[in-house]
Structure 1
Amino acid sequence: MSTHTSKTKITTAKIKSMKGKGRIVSLTAYTKNITQLMDPYVDLIIVGDSLGMVAFGFDSTLPVTIEMMISHGSAVVRGAETSCVIVDMPFGSYQESKQLAYKNAAKVMAQTGAQGIKIEGGPEMLETVEFLIQRGIPVMPHIGLCPQYANVLGGFKVQGKTQHQRDYLIETARKFEKVGAFSLLVEGVDELTAREITRSVSIPTIGIGASPECDGQVLVTEDMLGLFTEYTPKFVKKYIDLSQLIKTSFSEYEQEVRNRAFPTREHCFD
């Protein structure tokens, strides 16, 4: 059941204020239609660079471009009546310099109408995040397992399993809070690390593969609907297997067309 009791647009400031006041519900979206369906039930929609894998068929998120994010981001914003929408900054669009990051983030904000952006990374991104926030761009840093850093990390490996890693992530979270981040996305960390990060900051943590210890949860929508069939991460719960339902519909359509059972008089103009 939706917890939205009014048509008031949820802002990044509202997301920040939700710390300790109930769970924050988040999903990814890339199209207006899907956004309209989920909008009554979620607080935060992330236009993720995961679209590179689930929508474009890339092996990673690295080939995703700013133009792709703007195109899909603007579609999602048009479908989001109440949910807060943030857009991922794709690989190579912000790492070179804080000035480049601002140029691209401002372009994303202006051309999509999103409420903020998400940036992957650790302490090396602190100056950039602060630079953006000081210039009017709300930022959600993405820490822990950062897919854009997979080549450096040696693959998609759980983070925070050692005390050194845990301390590093906690300190990183605190630093991002200090420079003004409105929330944190925490991916691929163990339960203890997620709990300690969440307790260490006064801004919300949104977890994906980070246990129930975060302030909110996000999943890739195609994963939880059973639409992405290449593989299913351990942390994903499939709420329905839409791929099978869709295949059944395609099969029925094929047979009816081949057997001249569709269209019938019902579907014809007089």
Structure 2
Amino acid sequence: MIDSKVGILDILQAKKEGRKLVMVTAYDYPFGSMADEAGVDMVLVGDSLAMVVLGLNSTVQVTLEMIIHHIKAVRRGCKRPLVVGDMPFMSYNTGIRDAIINAGRLMKEGGCDAIKLEGGVDFALVVEAIVKAGIPVQGHIGLTPQTAGALGGFKMQGKDAAAARKIIDDAKALEAAGAFSIVVEAVPAPLGRLIAGSVAVPVIGIGAGVDVDGQVLVTHDMVGLFDRFVPKFVKQYTNIRPTIIEAIRTYGDEVRSSAFPTLKYSFGMSDEAQTELRRSLANQDGQVNG
């Protein structure tokens, strides 16, 4: 674990040293501060907030303003890790100029350290232009949620040799364009190993096997806060949703039975003050009635 503020050079050096990188998502101050305290290397303010925080059906509904809002909250609690802001759907697809402007907004208004965008060979020129503008870029290939519909849904990618080779080509194109790291999602473990071996920049897996340079998971998945589904590649390290529901249910029972709040959770008032208050109210009532 890096003790000081994590920078791009630290991420690149980790691969050279054979040190695995740890990345999680965060969308607000509490999770940002907890990720910081837990000692992760990178925190992604991802467009996955669409489903796990906002209750939307897909990531394509996330706007640039939403991402900026959540980056600000995470940044307040996340001081040491490298904070990566996700470029939402159509914020970089309409041209290089738009991509640079929108990536700049994530950095300037949100306060992230780098941005992430989906796509390989087809978006290499966009990545190159953003990097040349002075903005660090993390790539994302394999299963790309923003365009999952065109890929046949949320399914494993790179099953056959041709599809696998295309993903390797995507990784090489992103490296050549200047990406400092690449997220690879939902590919066979042997392909994950080949991708990591084909580029000099760190490859961060999410459902890409163990032989990559690091891992990223959606925090709400790994702690059991998101209940719609659990992806195959997610290990739930705890399941706090039932605990929270039970706490709220118990609170409700105690409110209805007047068991809460007890004196321990209430503010007191001296007998003298109470007597004076009653006298004052009685005098007031007498004046009104008179």
Normalising by structure 2, report the TM-score. Answer: 0.90
Bigger relative contact order (CA 8 A; separation at least 6)? 1
Q: Which residue of the other structure, out of 183, 205, 227, is the alignment partner of 2:225? A: 227
Residue 164 of structure 2: aligned partner: 166
Q: Distance in 1 between matches of 2:101 and 2:133?
A: 11
Q: Where does structure 1 lack aligned partners over 5 or more consecutive residues?
A: none
Residue 178 of structure 1: aligned partner: 176
Q: Which residue of the other structure, out of 21, 24, 39, is the alignment partner of 2:21? A: 24
* Contact 2:181 2:202 (8 Å CA) reproduced: yes
Q: Where does structure 2 lack aligned partners over 5 or more consecutive residues?
A: 269-290
Cα deviation digits, residues 99-139 of structure 1 (max 9, x gap): 00011110110011111000001211000000000010000
Q: Distance in 1 between matches of 2:182 and 2:237?
A: 25
Q: Greater helix share, 1 or 2?
A: 2
Q: Which residue of the other structure, out of 63, 70, 73, is the alignment partner of 1:72? A: 70
Q: CA deviation at 1:13?
A: 2.2
Q: CA deviation at 1:16?
A: 1.6
Matched, 1:51 2:49: yes
Residue 205 of structure 1 aligns to which amino acid in structure 2? V
Residue 18 of structure 1 aligns to which amino acid in structure 2? A
Residue 79 of structure 1 aligns to which amino acid in structure 2? G
Q: CA deviation at 1:151?
A: 1.6
Residue 203 of structure 1 aligns to which amino acid in structure 2? V
Q: Which residue of the other structure, out of 33, 36, 39, is the alignment partner of 2:36? A: 39
Q: Distance in 2 between matches of 1:153 and 1:113?
A: 32
Residue 23 of structure 1 aligns to which amino acid in structure 2? K
Q: Percent identity?
A: 44
- Higher Rg of the two aligned structures: 2
Q: Secondary structure at the match of 2:226?
A: coil
Q: CA deviation at 1:20?
A: 3.9
Q: Distance in 1 between matches of 2:12 and 2:96?
A: 24
Residue 35 of structure 1 aligns to which amino acid in structure 2? G
Q: Secondary structure at the match of 1:236?
A: coil
Q: Distance in 2 between matches of 1:153 and 1:161?
A: 12
* Contact 1:20 1:215 (8 Å CA) reproduced: no
* Contact 1:207 1:216 (8 Å CA) reproduced: yes
Residue 136 of structure 2: aligned partner: 138
Residue 263 of structure 2: aligned partner: 265
Residue 33 of structure 1 aligns to which amino acid in structure 2? P
Q: Distance in 1 between matches of 2:9 and 2:62?
A: 28
Residue 113 of structure 2: aligned partner: 115
Normalising by structure 1, report the TM-score. Answer: 0.96
* Contact 2:44 2:85 (8 Å CA) reproduced: yes
Residue 124 of structure 2: aligned partner: 126
Q: CA RMSD in A?
A: 0.9
Aligned residues: 266
Q: CA deviation at 1:251?
A: 1.1
Q: Distance in 2 between matches of 1:48 and 1:106?
A: 16
Residue 151 of structure 1: aligned partner: 149
Q: Distance in 1 between matches of 2:200 and 2:106?
A: 27
